[in-house]
């Protein structure tokens, strides 16, 4: 690289290089002209040479040399600027080009080949080729942008897709600026950066933000956005909220993997039934929300909900298990029942929870009394959390008696709650709430330990030393790792013989042949702890549960007992249940015995143990101790 060009590229002594060029070319011009002049004079005139003959030629030579030097310097400056421009463009790794007014190319960077798959030569041969590569859906945006630039404006960059030769569709960020000579546009300069990865990542993040990762359905945020859009358009629609019944039991007893499969199966069934244009969302946990656009007829809504319910209630075969669930629904009309998303969702949720609380009701539309019920549920949950933390829910004790002799056989520990603000709260109200609010585990553990302490004191201080204590255990507790070890540790800590403790479970624990639950109960039996099947006949499993061999006691639900004195069929049915249980070496407890007639029939049918208000009501610890004639209990608790 010559000195002049080196100077134009930033050499600190560039002026010295220019001075040298001027000197060299002026001298060269002077010498050439002098030489030519001398030869010419010698050839034309034979007179002796005189220096005055060279004055004018010398001046001409020097001026010619000066102008040649000036041209050389200006040429080097142009070359230097072009080299600098090209180097900067190549270093930027962007596809850049310069165009004339007719859109033919004056300069194209080599990065254009990596971006489009077409070489630089092809671009030079094809005016405005870059525009031809713009994806057809984006071309109107491109054309509008280029017209704005041609008008002398400098709009912000646009993002468009290109149809490339080797990579298919790609995303680029395109910028074009007019080149001015004074106030006149003489061309255009453009830069293009590929942003495909950034766009894909942004789209993925957007999709993640709006979709439920498990089911792929729109999530709560997406649903709220869609409902808000419809409200702003003054569109009529129905919003239906669905909650799966007994899903928590399946999740707790069979594991989250089975629960996840069930949620996906529910998604598939809802998608098959929902009308075209509906938005199905997983709202969270086991809750789904469906938006039904342009649905304003109550009968149509109830028909669709009936279809949803039928689909959900069909048996599901998951991981080799045949599982059953049901669902509760609450729904609202928009904008009739609410003009904002939050209100609509709150009202639908309130209606759904009220439907869940009512026997034989699967769906409800929002009404004012529904909201009152929902407000109570919210208050109840807040109070319940505090009560569980502070152990304000106490065990009450209900004795169980031998049907034949009347001897005290056992005591069931029942959770009872008297709230300072709400008063007495029914177990039918707070136990399901404790399950849905994930409080049942802590509540159950508290009642269990309390019962063991009382049972130990009773065993040591009272004459009736072989009275067992039974405690309900939820599927959540039984699914916890180390449950059996914790039970063993509690018995050892309080030195209570294992035979004096029974764990009561419900049929829902055995949904789908729950092997984990069966193994846990078998381990409890091996420790000497009894296992009773509570509320027999109200669930799905019925006698199939008894075949597993992990049960030693059957508790017949009070719904089988209450009509046996008036209904011969029910009387015969309970006799058959007792007989079959005895064949399987199970003791039978009849719950809800309230009349002498019921007691007589059950005794005649050879029921082993009776429980009910006729014999003894649940008692607080303060009443239970005197009832047992066991002062040691009171002293121990003091």
Using CA atoms, how far apart are residues 274 and 477, in angstroms rounded to an integer? Answer: 37
Count the Cβ atoms, other than its own, within 10 Å of residue 463.
7
Asked if the model's pLDDT at residue 9 lies above 50, the reply is: no
Q: Cβ-count burial of 512 within 10 angstroms (0-12 exposed, 13-18 middle, 19+ buried)? A: buried
Measured CA angle at 545 (ends 542, 550), to 5 deg: 145
User: pLDDT band at residue 162, thresholds of 50, 70 and 90?
Assistant: very high
Average pLDDT over residues 452-479: 83
pLDDT of residue 636: 41
Query: Highest mean pLDDT: which of 200-209, 509-518, 613-622?
Result: 613-622
Contacts of 612 (CB under 8 A, 6+ apart): 558, 561, 590, 591, 592, 593, 594, 598
Query: For the segment 255-266, what is each residue's pLDDT rounded down to a tens digit?
Result: 788 889 999 999
Host H or E run for residue 192? strand 184-194
Q: In this prediction, what percent of the chain has a pLDDT beyond 70? A: 80
DSSP string for residues in 362-430: -EEE--HHHHHHHHHHHHHHHHHHHHHHTT--EEEEEEEEETTT--EEEEEEEEEEEETTTEEE-HHHH
Using CA atoms, how far apart are residues 460 and 458, in angstroms rounded to an integer? Answer: 5
Question: Could you tell me which CATH class the domain 92-200 is placed in?
Answer: alpha beta
Q: What are phi and psi of 217, to 5 degrees?
A: -80, 160
Asked if the model's pLDDT at residue 41 lies above 60, the reply is: no
Structure tokens at 42: 């010698």
pLDDT of residue 5: 45
Asked if the model's pLDDT at residue 613 lies above 50, the reply is: yes
User: pLDDT band at residue 463, thresholds of 50, 70 and 90?
Assistant: low
Query: For the segment 204-213, what is each residue's pLDDT rounded down to a tens digit?
Result: 777 777 888 8
Structure tokens at 339: 């003009």
Query: Highest mean pLDDT: which of 172-181, 552-561, 598-607?
Result: 598-607
User: pLDDT band at residue 7, thresholds of 50, 70 and 90?
Assistant: very low
User: pLDDT band at residue 475, thresholds of 50, 70 and 90?
Assistant: confident
User: pLDDT band at residue 57, thresholds of 50, 70 and 90?
Assistant: low
The rounded Cα 583 to chain-centroid distance in angstroms is 50
Query: Highest mean pLDDT: which of 49-53, 388-392, 505-509?
Result: 388-392
Q: Which CATH architecture has domain 216-367?
A: 2-Layer Sandwich (3.30)
Q: In this prediction, what percent of the chain has a pLDDT beyond 90? A: 38
Q: Cβ-count burial of 632 within 10 angstroms (0-12 exposed, 13-18 middle, 19+ buried)? A: middle
Asked if the model's pLDDT at residue 631 lies above 50, the reply is: no
Asked if the model's pLDDT at residue 79 lies above 80, the reply is: no
Asked if the model's pLDDT at residue 34 lies above 90, the reply is: no
Structural contact between residues 375 and 346, judged by C-beta atoms closer than 8 angstroms: no
Contacts of 60 (CB under 8 A, 6+ apart): 33
The CATH number for 378-629, chosen from 3.60.20.10, 3.40.190.10, 3.30.70.80, 3.20.20.450, is 3.20.20.450
pLDDT of residue 472: 92
Identify the CA nearest to 226 among candidates 216, 213, 241, 237. Answer: 237
pLDDT of residue 200: 85
Query: For the segment 387-417, what is each residue's pLDDT rounded down to a tens digit?
Result: 999 999 999 999 999 999 999 999 999 999 9
Q: What are phi and psi of 170, to 5 degrees?
A: -130, 160
Q: What is the mean pLDDT of the chain?
A: 82
pLDDT of residue 547: 67
Average pLDDT over residues 25-45: 59
Query: Highest mean pLDDT: which of 14-28, 139-153, 513-527?
Result: 139-153
User: pLDDT band at residue 229, thresholds of 50, 70 and 90?
Assistant: very high
Using CA atoms, how far apart are residues 467 and 453, in angstroms rounded to an integer? Answer: 14
pLDDT of residue 514: 65
Measured CA angle at 340 (ends 338, 345), to 5 deg: 75
Using CA atoms, how far apart are residues 565 and 603, in angstroms rounded to an integer? Answer: 13
Asked if the model's pLDDT at residue 52 lies above 70, the reply is: no
Asked if the model's pLDDT at residue 564 lies above 50, the reply is: yes
pLDDT of residue 511: 62
Contacts of 287 (CB under 8 A, 6+ apart): 241, 242, 243, 244
Identify the CA nearest to 402 among candidates 207, 599, 217. Answer: 599
Contacts of 610 (CB under 8 A, 6+ apart): 400, 401, 402, 403, 589, 590, 593, 599, 602, 603
Residue 599: half-sphere exposure toward Cβ, Cα within 13 Å = 18
Using CA atoms, how far apart are residues 535 and 590, in angstroms rounded to an integer? Answer: 10
Of 4 and 630, the structure prediction assigns the larger pLDDT to 630
Question: If you compute the radius of gyration of the chain from its CA atoms, what whole number of angstroms results?
Answer: 45
Average pLDDT over residues 176-187: 88
DSSP string for residues in 465-534: TT-EEEEE--HHHHHSTTHHHHHHHHHHHHT--GGGEEEEEEGGGGTT--HHHHHHHHHHHHHT-EEEEE
pLDDT of residue 378: 77
Q: Which residue has the tokens 């942004």?
A: 202
Is-cis flag, bond preceding 335, omega within 30?
yes
Count the Cβ atoms, other than its own, within 10 Å of residue 288.
27
SS3 assignment for 73-120:
HHHHHHHHHHHHHHHHHHHCCCEEEEECCCCCEEEECCHHHHHHCCCH
Q: What are phi and psi of 338, to 5 degrees?
A: 180, 145
What is the helix, strand, coil percentage profile of the chain, to 5? Answer: 50, 20, 25
Structure tokens at 536: 């027999």
Using CA atoms, how far apart are residues 124 and 583, in angstroms rounded to an integer? Answer: 96
Identify the CA nearest to 420 among candidates 461, 471, 379. Answer: 379
User: pLDDT band at residue 139, thresholds of 50, 70 and 90?
Assistant: very high
Structural contact between residues 169 and 75, judged by C-beta atoms closer than 8 angstroms: no
Asked if the model's pLDDT at residue 62 lies above 80, the reply is: no
Asked if the model's pLDDT at residue 11 lies above 50, the reply is: no
pLDDT of residue 35: 65
Mean pLDDT lowest among 88-92, 152-156, 238-242? 88-92
Is the Cα torsion angle 227, 233, 234, 236 positive or negative in sign? Answer: negative
Using CA atoms, how far apart are residues 367 and 106, in angstroms rounded to an integer? Answer: 73
pLDDT of residue 58: 61
pLDDT of residue 329: 94
């Amino acid at each position: 690289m010559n000195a002049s060009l080196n100077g134009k590229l930033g050499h600190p002594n560039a002026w010295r290089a220019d001075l040298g060029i001027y000197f060299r070319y002026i001298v060269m011009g002077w010498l050439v002209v002098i030489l030519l002049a001398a030869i010419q004079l010698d050839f034309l005139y034979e007179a002796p040479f005189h220096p005055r003959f060279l004055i004018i030629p010398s001046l001409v030579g020097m001026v010619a040399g000066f102008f040649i030097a000036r041209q050389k310097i200006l040429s080097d400056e142009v070359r230097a600027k072009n080299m600098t421009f090209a180097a900067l463009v190549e270093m930027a790794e962007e596809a850049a080009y310069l165009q004339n007014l007719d859109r033919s190319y004056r300069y194209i960077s080599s990065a254009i080949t990596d971006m489009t798959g077409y070489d630089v030569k092809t671009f030079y041969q094809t005016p405005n080729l870059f525009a031809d590569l713009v994806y057809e859906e984006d071309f109107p945006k491109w054309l509008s942008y280029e017209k704005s630039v041609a008008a002398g404006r400098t709009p912000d960059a646009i993002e468009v897709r290109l149809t490339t030769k080797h990579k298919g569709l790609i995303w680029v960020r395109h910028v074009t600026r007019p080149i001015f000579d004074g106030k006149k546009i003489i061309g255009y300069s453009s830069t293009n950066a590929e942003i495909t990865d950034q766009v894909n990542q942004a789209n993925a993040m957007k999709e993640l933000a709006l979709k439920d990762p498990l089911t792929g359905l729109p999530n709560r945020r997406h649903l709220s956005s869609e409902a808000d859009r419809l409200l702003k358009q003054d569109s009529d629609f129905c919003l239906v909220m669905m909650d799966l019944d007994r899903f928590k039991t399946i999740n707790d007893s069979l594991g989250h993997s089975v629960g996840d499969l069930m949620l996906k199966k529910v998604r598939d069934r809802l998608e098959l039934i929902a009308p075209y244009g509906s938005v199905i969302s997983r709202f969270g946990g086991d809750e789904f929300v469906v938006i039904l656009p342009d649905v304003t007829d109550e009968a149509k809504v109830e028909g669709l909900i009936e279809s949803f319910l039928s689909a959900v209630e069909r048996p599901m075969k998951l991981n080799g298990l045949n599982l059953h669930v049901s669902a509760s629904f609450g729904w609202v009309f928009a904008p009739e029942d609410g003009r904002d998303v939050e209100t609509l969702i709150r009202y639908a949720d309130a209606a759904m929870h009220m439907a869940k609380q009512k026997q034989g009701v699967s769906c409800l539309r929002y009404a004012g009394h529904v909201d009152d019920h929902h407000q109570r549920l919210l208050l109840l949950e807040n109070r319940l959390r505090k009560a569980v933390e502070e152990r304000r829910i106490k065990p009450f004790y209900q004795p169980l008696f031998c049907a034949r002799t009347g001897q005290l056989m056992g005591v069931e520990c029942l959770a009872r709650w008297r709230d300072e603000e709400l008063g007495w709260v029914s177990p039918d109200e707070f136990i399901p709430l404790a399950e849905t609010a994930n409080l049942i585990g802590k509540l159950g553990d508290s009642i269990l330990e309390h019962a063991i302490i009382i049972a130990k004191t009773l065993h040591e201080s009272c004459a009736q030393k072989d009275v067992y204590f039974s405690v309900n255990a939820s599927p959540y507790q039984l699914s916890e790792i180390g449950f059996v070890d914790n039970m063993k540790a509690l018995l050892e800590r309080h030195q209570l013989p294992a035979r004096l403790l029974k764990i009561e479970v419900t049929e829902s624990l055995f949904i789908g042949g729950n092997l984990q639950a069966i193994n846990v109960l078998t381990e409890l039996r091996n420790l000497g702890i009894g296992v009773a099947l509570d509320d027999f006949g109200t669930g799905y499993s019925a006698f199939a549960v008894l075949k597993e061999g992990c049960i030693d006691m059957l508790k017949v639900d009070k719904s089988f007992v209450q009509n046996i004195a008036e209904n011969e069929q029910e009387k015969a049915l309970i006799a058959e249940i007792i007989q079959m249980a005895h064949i399987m070496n199970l003791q039978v407890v009849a719950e809800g015995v309230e009349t002498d007639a019921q007691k007589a029939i059950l005794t005649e049918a050879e029921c082993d143990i009776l429980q009910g208000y006729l014999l003894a009501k649940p008692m607080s610890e303060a009443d239970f101790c005197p009832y047992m004639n066991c002062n040691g209990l009171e002293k121990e608790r003091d």
